[in-house]
Amino acid sequence: MIVTTTPTVEGKPVAVYHGIVCGEAILGANIFRDLFAGIRDIVGGRSAAYEEELAKARETALREMQDKALEQGANAVVGVDLDYEVINNMLMVSASGTAVTLAS
């Protein structure tokens, strides 16, 4: 499945618009990783624990969005937008876009 932030796919006209699809992921970071991440942040290092959680959340949200697009018969999602929020020490990532069927 083609997933793109652009509104179109070059050389592939949209045959059918199926509508907006979304995927969300909310992940909590482990308390020990939080502690060590905080220490690393103080000394100016990168926080691998948070980077890993962020990547997991992004992948989950995108996969959920694609699954919903497939359920509607789409073969692509265009105009994808990723949103990141922190809610009560939990990381929320949402992905949304327009499910479409591209002409072959």
pTM over 0.95: no
**Amino acid 23: pLDDT:** 98
Give pLDDT tens digits for 40-94: 555 556 666 677 778 889 999 999 999 999 999 999 999 999 999 888 878 889 9
Cα angle 79, 99, 87; round to 5: 65
Q: Is residue 71 within 8 Å of 43, Cβ to Cβ?
A: no
